[in-house]
Amino acid sequence: MKPSSILTALLLVAPVAWLHAQEISLDRCFGIAESRNILIRQTQVSLAARQYNLAAEKMNYLPKLDALASYTYLSRPLEINLQTVRNGIVEGSSQQAVNSANNVFHEITGTDLSQGAKDRIYNSSKDIINAAYPDYNPPLSKQSYFLVGLALRQPLFLGNRLNAARNFAESEVASGRINTELVKKDVQYAIAAQYLRILYLNSMLQSQDEVVDALVKNDRYGEELVKNQVLAPYQKSWTKVLLSQARTARNTLQSDKQNAIVELNKLMGVPLDSALVITRQQTYHTMPLHTEDPQFWEHNPAYQLAQSKIATARVTEKINKTISLPNIFAVGNLNLYQNDLPVTMAPWMAGVEMQWNLYGSQSFKRKKAAQKLVEEVTLAEQNTRESLQMQLVVARNTIDAAQDEVNTMDSARTDIATTRRLMNERVQNQLSSLKDLNEVVLMQAEVEKAYQTAVLGYYLALATYWNITGSPQLIAEAIR
């Protein structure tokens, strides 16, 4: 195994062993998820694929060299049709023989041959050439042949399509990076929400334990009252029913916490049965919200992704505009294996090739489609910006409402605690019934639940606010 592979394996295994050692913080959950969450790893692989594609596009300017091989079998060998030129060759050759003989005779005698002598020379030459002329068509090649060679193709001008393709690949890489950040942000937000839910359940478990302990004490106190014939048995039995319900509610909360941990394990990318140690409870304290950047949406990966889609759409529009431009290549071919090569094919060739589409009914439609795509993603970018602005206002209002709710329920907690203390004294002095005390205990549990729910709502609103501004990890600072 390569050292890099061993290191990667250790990094993936180490967090799992660490989970069982001590209390795990929200920051630690973020760190584990960054290297193990499946969605984050998936986007990282997608980004790597886009980077390889960009590297390939950068090499489109280089020539392409192909090895070619072919086997060809002809229905009949290539031939030269000599019979179509037979008469011309015989006639021309015979006339040439007469002219040559006449020139020789003129040089010797100073006079030309007689017409009779010319006719005899012409007829004799014609008979000889007719007899010697082939009565068949000679082949130029064999009926089958095998060729092996190299073909070179160098782009010279492709209507700027190479630049456009490279720009498109670059925009895809940029989108991949932003998408990775967006998925990471969404995973962090989901982890924060799940972690806050576990803290809430821890607080509720403590509250429910207190309810169970109080009802156990009331049940024992009721037994003493029944023995002293101060309390009717059926009134004491009602306390036992409430105790059974309280224990069931406590078991339900414990089950909810176990399920929440399983869900958190999935978000972190660790085994589902990992026993996370999270015993902390909710503690309420406010976090001041700094005045956000007027252009805060520009820091949100969702908006950045919408912007990157505009860039990609514009590159697509540019590519479609270049369809009507010609393509020019330098081409070359070298035959390496030439046995039985037809004489009509040269051993090598070089040249310049141009391809120009003069008419294509799809070109115009594609240009219009690209223009509409730019309009579509521009509107999507505007919608994303307005949606983030709306969500931020809603989050701020939710934070304010949650703070008011927490303050209200905290005051109610103080009041109900006082009521329970006074009611307990009245029961001890036999001025109130055990039933009244049980009702106060249950009422106090409901108030505590409302308070803890309000605190959870406040922290979730904070997490949502920072998620909108592009920094969901800031919630970890709020709950330290």
Question: pLDDT tens, 227-281?
Answer: 666 566 666 667 788 888 999 999 999 999 999 999 999 999 999 988 889 999 9
Number of H helices, E strands in the chain: 11, 4
> Would you call 171 helix, strand, or coil by DSSP?
helix
> What does the alpha-carbon distance between residue 95 and residue 93 come to, in Å, rounded to a whole number?
5
Closest to 245 measured CA to CA, from 211, 221, 222, 220:
211
Q: Of 80-89, 221-230, 298-307, 375-384, where does mean pLDDT reach its minimum?
A: 221-230
Average pLDDT of span 278-303: 84
Are 434 and 427 in contact, with CB atoms under 8 Å apart? yes
- For position 6, what pLDDT does the model report? 43
pLDDT exceeds cutoff 80 at 299: yes
Q: What is the pLDDT of residue 13?
A: 47
Residue 231 is given by DSSP the state S
Q: How far apart are CA 55 and CA 177, in angstroms?
A: 16
Query: Which residues pair with residue 337 across a beta bridge?
Result: 148
Q: What are phi and psi of 275, to 5 degrees?
A: -90, 90
Residue 41's pLDDT is what? 93
Please report the pLDDT score of residue 460 as a whole number.
94
Taking the C-alpha atoms of residue 185 and residue 193, their distance in angstroms, rounded to an integer, is 12
pLDDT tens sequence across 118-140: 777 778 877 787 777 777 677 76
Cα–Cα distance for residue pair 94/84, rounded to 1 Å: 18
* DSSP structural state of residue 79: B
Candidates 327, 477, 296; CA nearest to 393 is 296
Highest mean pLDDT among 61-70, 139-148, 308-317: 308-317
* Cβ contact 254:202 at 8 Å: no
Q: List helix spans (H) across 228-360.
A: 233-268, 301-321
Whole-number average pLDDT of the chain: 82
Nearest alpha-carbon partner for 54 in 221, 200, 159, 167: 167
- For the CA atoms of the chain, what is the radius of gyration? 47
Instruction: Report pLDDT for 9.
Output: 44
Average pLDDT over residues 175-201: 93
The conformational region for residue 472 under phi > 0 = left, psi -120 to 50 = alpha, else beta, is: alpha
Domains and CATH numbers, the chain: 3-65+159-327+364-478 (1.20.1600.10), 80-138 (no CATH)
Q: Please report, as a single letter, which amino acid is at residue 358.
A: L
pLDDT of 20 reads 54
CA distance 30 to 156: 51
Question: Which amino acid is residue 99, in one-letter code?
Answer: N
Contact 30/188 with Cβ under 8 angstroms? yes
Task: Say whether pLDDT at 68 is over 50.
Answer: yes
Q: What pLDDT, on a 0 to 100 scale, did the predictor assign at position 408?
A: 94
Q: Tell me which of 361 and 123 has the higher pLDDT.
A: 123
H-helix segments, 429-474? 434-468
Give the Cα separation of 322 and 338 in Å (integer).
41
Of the spans 60-74, 345-359, 410-424, which averages the highest pLDDT?
410-424
Closest CA to 433 of 292, 198, 230, 162: 230
Residue pair 154/42 in contact by the 8 Å Cβ criterion = no
Measure CA of the first residue to CA of the last residue in the chain; give whole Å: 41
Side chain identity, residue 310:
I
C-alpha–C-alpha distance, residues 31 and 27, integer Å: 6
Q: Where does the pLDDT of residue 348 fall: very low under 50, low under 70, confident under 90, or very high at 90 and above?
A: confident
Please tell me which residue, 90 or 392, carries the higher pLDDT value: 392
Taking the CA atoms of 154, 158, 160 and 163 in sequence, report the sign of the dihedral they define: negative
Question: pLDDT band for position 8 (50/70/90)?
Answer: very low
Q: Which two tokens stand for residue 315?
A: 């590159």
Question: Residue 295 — pLDDT band, cuts 50, 70, 90?
Answer: confident
User: Does residue 11 have a pLDDT over 50?
Assistant: no
Distance CA(453)–CA(204), nearest Å, equals: 9
Q: Which residues are within 8 A (CB) of 427 and not within 5 positions of it... i.e. 6 or more apart?
A: 221, 433, 434, 436, 437
82's tokens: 């000599």
Instruction: With a cut of 60, say whether residue 97 has pLDDT above it.
Output: yes
pLDDT of residue 5: 44
pLDDT digits (tens, 9 = 90+) for 408-435: 999 999 998 898 888 888 877 767 677 7
